[in-house]
């Protein structure tokens, strides 16, 4: 019998790639999304072919959640308010969506006897990490309401798993990039740099550009999500999902300029308060227990993104 998966936030940037991968694998897929930042376009071809069903609704709405969970075996919970600045401006809304919404889904998933619940968290739970690379044991230190809401979400999931009420898996994504990506706080810098190259304008870097990030391609992330649904050793565990490599913002800017074949300049401005200096993931646990192996090199990933985004419309 076909297994049915509910993807919350499945019309979003990462969610829609997860949906693509699940459809390819032969799962029946349902998406619960309020389309607040997600786009119908991202999943339209699957909706048209009848391979994916959309429930347009809010994760805080009990009846939308109940309808979405009907007959579902696995839940992949990615719907969230993901903007750090917005979370600082409006912590109440952040906790409402990211915590109460998550709790609503968890409770209903227990009631509906879901086999596995995958919670998408973030490297932001570690804040400015004390040591590198960041492992799953690195001390957590959330520095925004967004990060706090993700950390508490993780604890809910692991708590339910420990009490054997719901088999849960936590994935901490690092800086995910790839097609369909908007201007988010994670890899929005890539979209911004590409836009500036397109307009032949200088690329602005905040700080001296030596700060590093772990940029991971969305296709690799989708593989990790799939593995977390299937993997026998995943339940009750937290996994870092990154590339395991670090790239400085200077390197990023230079690579984009080179691959785009433009001669945009780089300009520097005062660093922004709250910016993390360095971060990259130790992915050995995901490699060992999920068989996760990032395959898309950063250069290849950027090249295909440039091909998509540099097309003048
Ligand atoms: N982009 C990254 O690099 C990154 C890094 C770490 C973690 N994450 C996490 O990955 C997940 C997906 O992020 P993304 O970058 O694809 O962002 P996104 O904004 O494209 O996706 C979020 C999706 O959730 C939906 N949504 C928001 N609030 C909702 C609600 N109340 N009810 C129903 N649907 C709702 C949006 O419409 C959107 O489709 C999020 O949980 C985010 O915290 C992303």
Whose alpha carbon is nearest atom 28 of ligand 1?
A: 80
Q: Is residue 185 scored above 90 in pLDDT?
A: no
Residue 242's pLDDT band (boundaries 50, 70, 90)? very high
Model pLDDT for residues 186-222, shown as the tens digit of each residue = 778 999 999 999 999 999 999 999 999 999 999 999 9
Q: Work out the average pLDDT over 77-83.
A: 97
Ligand 1 neighbourhood includes 158 CB (under 6 angstroms): no
Q: Work out the average pLDDT over 275-288.
A: 94
Choosing from 36, 68, 80 the residue with most ligand 1 atoms within 8 A of its CB, the one to mutate for a pocket test is: 80
Ligand 1 neighbourhood includes 11 CB (under 6 angstroms): yes
Q: What angle do CA 15, 20, 21 make, to 5 degrees?
A: 95
Q: Which of 146, 156, 177, 292 is catalytic?
A: 146
Please compute, for residue 238, the number of CA atoms within 13 A of its CA located in the half-sphere on the CB side.
25
**Residue 146 a catalytic site member:** yes
pTM recorded for the entire structure: 0.97
Q: Is residue 313 scored above 60 in pLDDT?
A: no
Ligand 1 neighbourhood includes 177 CB (under 6 angstroms): no
Q: Work out the average pLDDT over 73-83.
A: 97
Q: Which domains does the chain have, with CATH numbers?
A: 4-175+216-241 (3.40.50.720), 179-214+245-281+296-309 (3.90.25.10)
Q: Is residue 224 scored above 70 in pLDDT?
A: yes
CA of 261 to the centre of ligand 1 (A): 32
pLDDT at residue 67, rounded to an integer: 97
Q: Work out the average pLDDT over 132-144.
A: 96
Q: Work out the average pLDDT over 228-247.
A: 96
Residue 311's pLDDT band (boundaries 50, 70, 90)? low
Q: Work out the average pLDDT over 179-190.
A: 83
CA of 77 to the centre of ligand 1 (A): 9
3-state SS track over the chain: CCCEEEEECCCCHHHHHHHHHHHHHCCEEEEEECCCCCCHHHCHHHHHHCCEEEEECCCCCHHHHHHHHCCCCEEEECCCCCCHHHHHHCHHHHHHHHHHHHHHHHHHHHHCCCCEEEEEEEHHHHCCCCCCCECCCCCCCCCCHHHHHHHHHHHHHHHHHHCCCCCEEEEEECEEECCCCCCCCCCHHHHHHHHHHHCCCCEEEECCCCCEECEEEHHHHHHHHHHHHHCCCCCCCEEEECCCCCEEHHHHHHHHHHHHCCCCCEEEECCCCCCCCCCCECCHHHHHHHCCCCCCCHHHHHHHHHHHHCCCC
Model pLDDT for residues 26-64, shown as the tens digit of each residue = 999 999 999 999 999 999 999 999 999 999 999 999 999
Q: Is residue 166 scored above 50 in pLDDT?
A: yes
Ligand 1 neighbourhood includes 294 CB (under 6 angstroms): no
Q: Is residue 272 scored above 90 in pLDDT?
A: no
Ligand 1 neighbourhood includes 14 CB (under 6 angstroms): yes
pLDDT at residue 157, rounded to an integer: 98
Q: Is residue 162 scored above 60 in pLDDT?
A: yes
Of 110, 21, 179, the C-alpha closest to 7 is 21
């Amino acid at each position: 019998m076909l297994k049915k998966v509910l993807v919350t936030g499945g019309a979003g940037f990462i969610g829609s790639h997860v949906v693509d991968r699940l459809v390819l694998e032969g799962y029946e897929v349902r998406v619960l999304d309020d389309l607040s930042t997600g786009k119908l376009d991202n999943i339209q071809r699957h909706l048209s072919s009848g391979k994916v069903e959309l429930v347009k609704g809010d994760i805080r709405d009990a009846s939308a959640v109940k309808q979405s969970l009907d007959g579902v075996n696995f839940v992949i919970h990615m719907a969230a308010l993901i903007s750090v600045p917005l979370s600082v401006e409006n912590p109440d809304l952040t906790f409402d969506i990211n915590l109460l919404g998550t709790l609503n889904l968890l409770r209903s998933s227990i009631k509906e006897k879901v086999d596995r619940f995958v919670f998408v968290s973030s490297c932001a739970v570690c804040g400015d990490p004390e040591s590198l690379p960041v492992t799953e044991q690195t001390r957590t230190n959330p520095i925004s309401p967004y990060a706090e809401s993700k950390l508490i979400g993780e604890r809910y999931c692991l708590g339910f798993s420990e009490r054997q009420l719901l088999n849960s898996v936590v994935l901490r994504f690092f800086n995910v990039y790839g097609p369909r990506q908007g201007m988010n706080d994670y890899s929005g810098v890539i979209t911004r740099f590409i836009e500036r190259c397109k307009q032949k304008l200088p690329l602005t870097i905040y700080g001296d550009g030596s700060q590093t990030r772990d940029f991971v391609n969305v296709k690799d992330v989708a593989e990790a999500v799939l593995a977390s649904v299937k993997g026998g050793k995943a339940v009750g565990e937290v996994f870092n999902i990154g590339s395991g490599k670090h790239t400085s913002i200077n390197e990023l800017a230079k690579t984009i300029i080179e691959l785009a074949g433009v001669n945009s300049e780089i300009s520097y401005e005062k660093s922004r308060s709250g910016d993390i200096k360095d971060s990259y993931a130790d992915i050995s646990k995901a490699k060992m227990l999920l068989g996760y192996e990032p395959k898309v090199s950063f250069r290849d990933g950027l090249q295909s993104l440039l091909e998509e985004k540099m097309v003048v419309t």
